[in-house]
Structure 1
Amino acid sequence: GFDVMVFEKDLSAIRGEGQYRGPIQIQSNALAALEAIDMEVAEQVMAAGCVTGDRINGLVDGVSGNWYIKFDTFTPAVERGLPVTRVISRMTLQQILAEA
């Protein structure tokens, strides 16, 4: 019930420079919040994204490949009825949100 205005802090996404940056991860709680705000937009975002919450998640040493820690993002989301974590292209996300 609030009137809000969203400002893009990183203009590179709007100018198209964001295409060279990696994907952005959207956690289950953020997807659930998006569903509460606009189900149609949430469905577009989830359809365009790639589910990663059903895989091994955690922090890995980029040099050695050794895991610092592994964690489960799937079970807590499913148990609470939340969407499973996904990654999505920054440019695709920006486009969906800009057109909403």
Structure 2
Amino acid sequence: MKDLSLLSEYNRDEVNSYLKKNNNRNILNVNYWNKRFFIDDYSKEKKNDFERSFTNTFLLTKNNKGKNFELKKYFIFNYNSFSEKNKKLIIENYN
């Protein structure tokens, strides 16, 4: 999988399908979000799905301080890539 070119839409879809198969197991893993973000960044029309999933996971991890902290770091490093709507929602729940 690491050798697939992400310039091809077919390859992006293929990698994304493998990530989605492990969605429940990896949803709290920051590396999972990094990979999804990187792949979805090539496909702007799918970006909304990624942001919605990330925002929901961020909100659901409020009681899991360790995972929430990792997602906060991810959000800070990728702040400019999020839409204004999701930035506002995440910042409101950033405490």
Flag the structure with more relative contact order, 1 or 2, with Cα contacts below 8 A and sequence separation at least 6. Answer: 1
Computing the radius of gyration over CA atoms, which structure comes out larger, 1 or 2?
Answer: 1
The answer, yes or no, to whether TM exceeds 0.5 is: no
TM-score, with structure 2 as normaliser: 0.38
The structure whose residues are more often helix, as a share, is 2
